[in-house]
Amino acid sequence: GWTSAFAPPSASGNQSIYVQYVYPKPINIHPKQEQYIKNYVDSFETSLASPGFQDPNTGWRRYMDENSVIDYMLINEMSRNVDGYRISTFFHKQKINQGSKLKLGPVWDYDIAWLNADYCLGNSTTGWAYNFNNVCGNDGMLVPFWWQRFRQDTLFNKRLYCRYTELRNSFFSTPALHSLADSMAAVLA
């Protein structure tokens, strides 16, 4: 892996963001493949940090699939996953014939989500989980600048709201969530 050129927001010290390879394993990755992936992620971060980051054609959307960002954010906010944006963020690069962009996911590591963390406001029902750094800026594993920057994008916010509204009328509706909880309780009983 490598260290991002962009420091995490609200850091209390000299913390950095480390991007780690999972697949292929570091021992198996070809140096050219490793450099290609690093360069691609660096280009994404540079475009996201740039003044023209909101441009739908030349900004961050050129490198990252927006729909995956939106869905990733909604599930991590709904679950109040304190690890979701920092320690347990998976993303992958699509092949050229599949769109060639970075996609967030799969989601995982929800053992201390759902208000099950007793630190850094992980058990709070208010606020945003992506603002972890504002609450725990001294933590060694902080959230990258991506999430605050996405929220500065007006088109992203509109699409985030539309997707939330869509899901709130289906999978995230109160009856659907109650049904899911009841079905899990029945299995556990």
Using CA atoms, how far apart are residues 181 and 30, in angstroms rounded to an integer?
45
Using CA atoms, how far apart are residues 88 and 99, in angstroms rounded to an integer?
24
Radius of gyration of the chain (CA): 18
Q: Is the pLDDT of residue 165 over 90?
A: yes
Q: Which residues contact 140 (CB under 8 A, 6 or more apart)?
A: 15
pTM: 0.92
Tens digit of pLDDT for each residue in 9-46? 998 889 999 999 888 888 899 999 999 999 999 999 99
Q: Read out DSSP for 37-61?
A: HHHHHHHHHHHHHSTTTT-TTTSGG
Alpha carbon 152 to chain centroid, angstroms: 15
pLDDT confidence of 173, banded at 50, 70, 90? very high
Q: Which residues contact 126 (CB under 8 A, 6 or more apart)?
A: none
DSSP for residue 25: -
Beta strands in the chain (DSSP E): 2-3, 18-19, 91-93, 102-104
Q: Once rounded to an integer, what is the mean pLDDT over residues 144-157?
A: 97
Q: Once rounded to an integer, what is the mean pLDDT over residues 141-167?
A: 97
